[in-house]
Amino acid sequence: MTVTTAVTRSADPPRTRVERLADFADSRFGAATAVKAGARKIFPDHWSFMLGEVALYSFVILILSGVFLTFWYVPSASLVEYEGPYEPLQGLVVSESYESTVNLSWDVRGGLFMRQVHHWAALIFVAATVVHMMRVFFTGAFRKPREMNWVIGVLLALLAIVEGFAGYSLPDDLLSGTGLRIASAIILAIPIVGSYLSFFVFGGEFPGEDFIPRLYTVHVLLVPGIMLALIAVHLFLVVLHKHTQYPGPGRTNQNVVGYPLLPVYVAKAGGFFFIVFGVVALMAATMQINPIWAYGPYDPSPITAGSQPDWYMGFLDGAVRTIPGWEVVLFGEWTLSLNILIPALVLPGLMTVVLVAYPWLEQWVTGDDREHHLLDRPRNVPTRTGLGVMALTFYALLWANGGNDIIAHFLNLSINDLTWFTRIALFVLPPLAFLVTKRICLGLQRRDREKVLHGRETGEVYRLATGEVLERHEPLSPEERWLLVQHDGYLPLEPGPATDANGVRRRGARLDGLRHRLSSFYFGDAVPPVTPHELAQAEAHHHALDGHGAAAGNGHPAVTRGGPPDDADGVLARDPSPAGVGSAPGHSGAAQSGEVREGGSTRA
Amino acid sequence: MSRIAPGGASQDEQSDASGRTVAVADAAGLPERFENPGLPEHRPRLADIDRKAARRAELSVAVMFLLSMVGTVVTIVGYFAFRLDEPTSGELAWSNRTIGLGLFLTIFFIGMGAVQWAKTLMPDHEQIEERHSVESTPETKSAAAGILREGVDDSGIRRRPLILGSLAGALALAPLPALVLLKDLGPNPGNKLRETLWGPGVRAIVDPTKTPLRPEEIQLGQIVHILPEQLGIEPDEGRTEGLEYLNEKAKAAAIVIRLEEGEVPAAARAGAYGGLVAYSKVCTHMGCSVALYEQVTHHLLCPCHQSTFDVLDNCRVIFGPAARALPQLPVGVDDEGYLVATEGFAEPVGPSFWERGDT
Amino acid sequence: MTSLFRYRRHRLALPALLLAGLIVAGTGYAAVLPSAGATDRGPNEFTAEQIEDGRELFLANCATCHGLDAEGGTTDGDGKVSGPSLIGVGAASVDFQVGTGRMPLQASGPQAPERAPQFSLEETRALAAYVASLAPGPGIPEDRWLDPEQGDVAEGGEIFRTNCAMCHNFFGNGGALTEGKYAPAIDSEPVHTYEAMVTGPQNMPVFSDDVLTPEQKRDVIAFLEYAQAEPAPGGLSLGAIGPVSEGLIAWIVGIGGLVALAVWLGARAS
């Protein structure tokens, strides 16, 4: 007995081509659900959010141009005689990797262009990563729930630097080979295992024949693979958490204000990829980069003046140039090369640890573990901004010293003076930068207060009958004012009780003292935002000064805002919307001063 | 938990659909904090209200896309127009410039067109989307906890410590072969770092011309870059001669300088030949070639990190991050009058390593 | 002649006569005067007259620092000489230092910079003749060693990278030495390049003709000619000093340009 089952047909068979395509995608992938959820997703709009995109798009450009290069580049240290068109190399015995790179440049149409695209894109990739990281830091976008994304970002930055170093060492030219020599010295300097590790990595002595092919695998397969995976997680988290947004009228911690993915961001963000690619292409078309034929093949004997790594390794080179010749020999047998270990291993290690740990450090000091989706204006977090500028100053000093011989040559200075300057400035300038930055932030915050309380200076000057000359101030609109008053005014953490209920010393009590001091450092000097009460007082003060109000032409227009009776510009809500907003009483505790607030997540 | 000052922000404040916030009024009837005024009024763009402006915008977008098409043509024409047949620098420059600028036009103006389109013509009304808390609801959390508990219980791992223990042991040991399998990446260093091709009677040859050297050919104030005579072959012949050419060169590169006989430092006199002193060229800091010789000051400078060595003081370090003096290569002449090494280096050349010690 | 005589009262008659007179006097004088750089003489064959002229020039311009007998300037108590001895430096040294304007030294500093030459070619040769007459020393190179066309660019490149690039950079664009000294960018004439190699001016070491033969020096000159003359195939060379200028451009042009475009992208259209 056969059993037949009727095949169910969908209610409306698709007719047009578009409908058939949509049906294809939906019945196999459930595309309609994805479209419903995602196609009109809102993203906030600010140019500083594009910095991460510059990095992402540069990465794509690197992969595209890199694949092109792999079709011609030969990762081999075998020696061949150069027989190409570049005169100064003719007849020279060089490695195949060098020869294939020179041929890529001189024999393959578009080859030189692609090499230059690849190298310019690499420099821009790391630069964009750094600038993006700075934006995330100064606006506090690394706070909960985005701490792990910050960690992934730091890892991506480190991997990008390693990847770049590996990439420009592949052609085996004089300049990058010198860099590899320095890398082998760093490995040699590692205590106990250094010489073994160096021989494993290079397959024997330096330079050996194994390193270029191994570097190729690292550069083309390993690191890009890891980076792709990390970038995927990085972007997934951005979608999961939704992008942060700058504070402003209409923007709260519970919403995202912006434009939909389709069509605005498909056009803008998609278009921006082509713009980034276009800028890189323009640079590759007009400006020469990494002319390896001119450097010559790597040979351990010759060397060029101006031996520097690419810019993103510059801070390490500068650190190595700054440090004095500290070397310790233990018991006459074991050599500890502090002059290499400190700048080349300890320093970047410490920097990484501090960067990775910072979100949790700040959370511990401030006690703020709420979800944050609104960004900080840097002036409203003066200590964090100051610390960031301090770190950048330190970094910039090391970076500059990496090029001290070029600077000396072009500015007629002495490399010895520059090195000594850096040695001292490394300890003097960063704290100075911190103080100056913090003061500037506090000054800007005070100016914001002034603007809210007294309005914007219009530049219009008028004269009273009594001879007094005054300037008319225009009060801020509610939208303008909101940006200047929306931030939190924090107070430092108080230490908890020293003993618990039974009189026993509470665990963590000692750390509390440190936490209180750090918290005071972090939040002391805080400039609180203006409250409606203060504004009303200021306006009352203006009226008192007037005597005759607007009629006297003293420049202060009749106050139309402030107290409850006259609410022309909506300081108070007209009525709470019934759409699941919840009522005020739930927050009565918040308005009272002096209460310790429970941290917690927000509910939409 | 931070204490928030009077008038501090309450990020837990509810907001309505337009982003305006509600807060409690204080005793005077004023709210504690200012409230979010909600989205500002939408200002239309020129292209939204003026039909002609919209047409102009549309035209500008089309022009950009057109420029992209022009670029494609330029790229393809340029590719075929400039053949790279033993090109001169100038010919290569033209090929690069044309293909490059063509591709720039192609790519850049697709992007510019798309962005201009979005900016001027696509609707720019700001829209609002609600965020959901990242944290799950308590119900979901307890449900998840229950599921996990159930799953772990089903696995029985808690009730069977033997499984747990042996599993932990297996997982802990499993990665070890990964380390061991990499052992054949390279040989052990052995004595390699302490040996160079220099030895008694090894002739010096000029780098890179590979000719032998006589002391009288070197004038006062001259520096000659030298290699041991075994490296007088082409690099690719190294294999047949039984040596790794570049590896040996990396250790054996040396320099010979002529000083006045009276200037030769006491510590170097034994290895000097008249006023000629020879030293390793491999920087004791990180291995770059210490090749910059200042004839008047008698200083040797390494270009990588500016370590400076004083030849008049047996190449002691006088500035920079290097810690050790350059090892001296004792020199003399053989019976044909050519410059030779009388001994090898008395200590390892180049960068320091853990086992180097004071020798 | 009669036809010309008719124009004796022409207003241009006097200027024309003066011009004719000048031409006659000038060419006559030049024909009678012996030429300084006669082509039938080698570069290091000087006349007694040149040596004498050179001595006078020396006494007037150089003796204050280099001593009346060119044996070096007087010490000023702390062992420093105002100018080294020129005995044995040879015509090549003088031709280089004076020909590139380094000497006479205008101001003290870490080293003598290249400047516009302060003496004419003849005066320079005279000075060279005088110094060469004091003691044997490196001579001015013959023309055949200065022709880049005859040099091997590849050989020259190898020699340059081993012997010169560490101070002067891979393409001769210059580099820093210690204490504010520097190796300058090389854009001199082949004769001066040769002379610098053979005499080792100031802190530059000597490259004797025995070790670096005249053919090899010519190869170096050929390589430098190539490096300076050939356009950069990738576009603007950015100074050809390596990654420092490239990084600067990547930040200023690349990131700067992209940030500007991002700002434009995010800005409201009017």
CATH of the domain at B240: 2.102.10.10
SS3 category, B333: strand
pLDDT at C35: 52
Q: In this structure, are B204 and B312 located in the same domain?
A: yes
Contacts with B89 from chain C: Cβ below 8 Å: 230-233
CATH number of C143-233: 1.10.760.10
C-alpha dihedral, B107 to B112 to B114 to B115, nearest 10°: 140
Determine the number of helices (DSSP H) and then strands (DSSP E) in chain B. 7, 13
Q: What is the mean pLDDT of residues A553-579?
A: 41
Residue B141 lies in a domain: no
Residue B111 lies in a domain: yes
Closest chain C CA to residue A94: C158
Q: In this structure, are B221 and B308 located in the same domain?
A: yes
The residue among A336, A326, A202 whose CA lies nearest residue B353 is: A336
SS3 category, A275: helix
* CB-based contact B306 C178, cutoff 8 Å: yes
- Reported confidence tier of residue A36, pLDDT bands at 50, 70, 90: confident
Q: What is the mean pLDDT of residues B80-95?
A: 94
Q: CA distances (Å), B252 to each of A173, A200, B290, B348, in order?
A: 20, 22, 13, 11
* Helix axes of C121-134 and C90-99: crossing angle, nearest 10 degrees: 150
pLDDT at A86: 96
Contacts with B93 from chain C: Cβ below 8 Å: 231-235
Question: How close C231 comes to chain A (CA, Å)?
Answer: 11
Closest chain A CA to residue C151: A88
CATH number of A42-297: 1.20.810.10
Higher pLDDT, B131 or C81: B131
Contacts with B219 from chain C: Cβ below 8 Å: 206, 208
Contacts with C208 from chain B: Cβ below 8 Å: 217-219, 222
pLDDT at A427: 97
Residue B41 lies in a domain: no
Contacts with C210 from chain B: Cβ below 8 Å: 214, 216-218
Please, which residues have CB within 8 angstroms of residue A220's CB and are 6 or more apart in sequence?
Answer: A66, A70
SS3 category, B303: coil
pLDDT digits (tens, 9 = 90+) for A451-495: 999 999 899 999 999 999 988 889 999 999 999 999 887 777 777
The answer to whether residue A593 scores a pLDDT higher than 70 is no
Higher pLDDT, C82 or C41: C82
Residue ranges, CATH 1.10.760.10, chain C: 48-134, 143-233
The answer to whether residue A559 scores a pLDDT higher than 70 is no
- Reported confidence tier of residue C240, pLDDT bands at 50, 70, 90: very high
Closest chain C CA to residue A311: C247
pLDDT digits (tens, 9 = 90+) for A60-110: 999 999 999 999 999 999 999 999 999 999 999 999 999 999 999 999 999
The mean pLDDT of chain B is 90
CB B104 within 8 A of CB A61: no
Q: What is the mean pLDDT of residues A520-526?
A: 82
pLDDT at C169: 95
Question: How close C50 comes to chain A (CA, Å)?
Answer: 38
Token pair in block for residue B132: 């959901």
pLDDT at A555: 45
Please, which residues have CB within 8 angstroms of residue A118's CB and are 6 or more apart in sequence?
Answer: A62, A65, A66, A69, A167
What is the widest separation between alpha-carbon atoms in chain C?
91
- Is cis: bond before A576, omega within 30 of 0? no
Separation of first and last alpha carbons in chain C: 86
The residue among A180, A157, A171, A2 whose CA lies nearest residue A75 is: A171
Q: How many other C-beta atoms can be found within 10 angstroms of the C-beta atom of residue A36?
A: 9
pLDDT at A6: 59
The partner residue sitting opposite A304, judged by closest CB among C153, C165, C247, is C165
pLDDT at C2: 65
Question: How close A231 comes to chain C (CA, Å)?
Answer: 21
Q: Note whether C154 contacts B: Cβ–Cβ < 8 A.
A: no
CB C180 within 8 A of CB C110: yes
CATH 1.10.760.10, domain C48-134, yes or no = yes
Q: What is the mean pLDDT of residues A389-409?
A: 97
CB B339 within 8 A of CB B319: no
pLDDT at A34: 85
Query: Which position has the token pair 């618990």?
Result: A500
The partner residue sitting opposite B29, judged by closest CB among A486, A564, A583, is A564
Describe chain A by its helix, strand, coil percentages, rounded to 5: 60, 10, 35
- Selected residue of B209, B306, B311 to mutate for chain C interface (largest C Cβ count, 10 A): B209
The partner residue sitting opposite A367, judged by closest CB among B2, B28, B234, is B2
SS3 category, B356: coil
C-alpha dihedral, C27 to C28 to C31 to C37, nearest 10°: -60
pLDDT at A541: 82
The answer to whether residue B205 scores a pLDDT higher than 80 is yes
pLDDT digits (tens, 9 = 90+) for A342-357: 999 999 999 999 999 9
pLDDT at A7: 59
pLDDT at A596: 33
Token pair in block for residue C126: 């005279």
Say if strands B276-280 and B328-329 run parallel, antiparallel, or are unpaired.
Answer: antiparallel
Please, which residues have CB within 8 angstroms of residue A24's CB and are 6 or more apart in sequence?
Answer: none
**pTM here?**
0.88
Question: How close C240 comes to chain A (CA, Å)?
Answer: 9
Token pair in block for residue B229: 């005579």
Token pair in block for residue A146: 């985005």
* CB-based contact B127 A79, cutoff 8 Å: no
The residue among A458, A464, A493, A477 whose CA lies nearest residue A561 is: A477
pLDDT at B75: 97
The CA distance from A520 to A497, in Å, is 17
Q: Note whether C233 contacts A: Cβ–Cβ < 8 A.
A: yes
SS3 category, B242: coil
* CB-based contact C178 B319, cutoff 8 Å: yes
Token pair in block for residue A416: 């010895």
Residue B353 lies in a domain: no
Token pair in block for residue B238: 């190294």
The answer to whether residue A577 scores a pLDDT higher than 70 is no
Q: Which of B61, B87, B120 is the last residue of a domain?
A: B120
Q: Note whether A46 contacts C: Cβ–Cβ < 8 A.
A: yes
Q: How many other C-beta atoms can be found within 10 angstroms of the C-beta atom of residue A43?
A: 21
Question: How close A270 comes to chain C (CA, Å)?
Answer: 12
Cα-flanking dihedrals φ and ψ of residue C17, to 5°?
-65, -40
The answer to whether residue A556 scores a pLDDT higher than 50 is no
* CB-based contact A200 B185, cutoff 8 Å: yes
Q: Note whether B219 contacts C: Cβ–Cβ < 8 A.
A: yes
Sign of CA dihedral A215, A220, A224, A226: negative
Tell me, what amino acid is at A333?
E
Q: Which range marks the domain in which residue B280 is found?
A: 194-341
Q: CA distances (Å), A392 to each of A126, A562, C254, in order?
A: 15, 43, 20
Q: Note whether B306 contacts C: Cβ–Cβ < 8 A.
A: yes
The CA distance from C238 to C209, in Å, is 35
Q: In this structure, are B102 and B202 located in the same domain?
A: no
Candidate from A116-125, C1-10, C96-105 with smallest mean pLDDT: C1-10
Residue B247 lies in a domain: yes
pLDDT digits (tens, 9 = 90+) for A400-440: 999 999 999 999 999 999 999 999 999 999 999 999 999 99
pLDDT at B243: 85
Q: What is the mean pLDDT of residues B120-128?
A: 90
Q: What is the mean pLDDT of residues C123-131?
A: 94
pLDDT at A129: 98
Contacts with C232 from chain B: Cβ below 8 Å: 89, 93
* Helix axes of A314-322 and A382-401: crossing angle, nearest 10 degrees: 70
* CB-based contact B214 C210, cutoff 8 Å: yes
CB B348 within 8 A of CB B356: yes
Contacts with B292 from chain C: Cβ below 8 Å: 166-167, 177, 183
Q: Note whether B276 contacts C: Cβ–Cβ < 8 A.
A: no
Question: How close C79 comes to chain B (CA, Å)?
Answer: 14
- Reported confidence tier of residue A589, pLDDT bands at 50, 70, 90: very low
pLDDT at C32: 65
Q: What is the mean pLDDT of residues A231-247?
A: 95
Task: Report domain extents, chain A.
Answer: 42-297, 441-565
Chain A contacts in chain B segment 297-326 (CB below 8 A): 303-307, 317, 319-324
- Overall domain count for chain B: 2
Q: In this structure, are B107 and B230 located in the same domain?
A: no
ipTM score over 0.95, yes or no: no
Question: How close C234 comes to chain B (CA, Å)?
Answer: 6
The CA distance from A561 to A565, in Å, is 9
Chain C contacts in chain A segment 105-124 (CB below 8 A): 105-106, 112, 116, 119-120, 123-124
Contacts with B72 from chain A: Cβ below 8 Å: none
pLDDT digits (tens, 9 = 90+) for C146-194: 999 999 999 999 999 999 999 999 999 999 999 999 999 998 899 999 9
The CA distance from C141 to C253, in Å, is 46
Q: CA distances (Å), A457 to each of A470, A537, A556, in order?
A: 11, 19, 11
Question: How close B89 comes to chain C (CA, Å)?
Answer: 5
- Is cis: bond before A207, omega within 30 of 0? yes
The CA distance from A284 to A278, in Å, is 10
State the DSSP H helix or E strand holding residue A460, giving kind and residue range, or none if neither: strand A456-463
pLDDT digits (tens, 9 = 90+) for A168-216: 999 999 999 999 999 999 999 999 999 999 999 999 999 999 999 999 9
State the DSSP H helix or E strand holding residue B223, giving kind and residue range, or none if neither: strand B223-228
Q: How many CB pairs lie under 8 A apart between chains B and C?
A: 99
The burial class, CB within 10 Å (0-12 / 13-18 / 19+), for B350 is buried
Question: How close B165 comes to chain A (CA, Å)?
Answer: 32
Token pair in block for residue C197: 């190699």
The answer to whether residue A9 scores a pLDDT higher than 60 is no
Query: Which position has the token pair 């890529």?
Result: A104
Residue B7 lies in a domain: no
pLDDT at B238: 84
Token pair in block for residue B84: 């790279």
C-alpha dihedral, B133 to B139 to B141 to B146, nearest 10°: -170
Please, which residues have CB within 8 angstroms of residue A42's CB and are 6 or more apart in sequence?
Answer: A256, A257, A258, A259, A260, A261, B127, B128, B129
The residue among C235, B239, B120, B36 whose CA lies nearest residue A485 is: B36
The partner residue sitting opposite C208, judged by closest CB among B46, B96, B219, is B219
Closest chain B CA to residue A333: B357
* Helix axes of A415-454 and A404-411: crossing angle, nearest 10 degrees: 90
Q: What is the mean pLDDT of residues B267-287?
A: 96
Q: Note whether B189 contacts A: Cβ–Cβ < 8 A.
A: yes
Q: How many other C-beta atoms can be found within 10 angstroms of the C-beta atom of residue A175?
A: 26
- Is cis: bond before C84, omega within 30 of 0? no
**Neighbouring subunits of C (3+ Cβ pairs under 8 A):** A, B
Chain A contacts in chain B segment 108-127 (CB below 8 A): 108-115, 117-119, 122-124, 126-127
Q: CA distances (Å), C90 to each of B237, C130, C202, in order?
A: 43, 9, 15
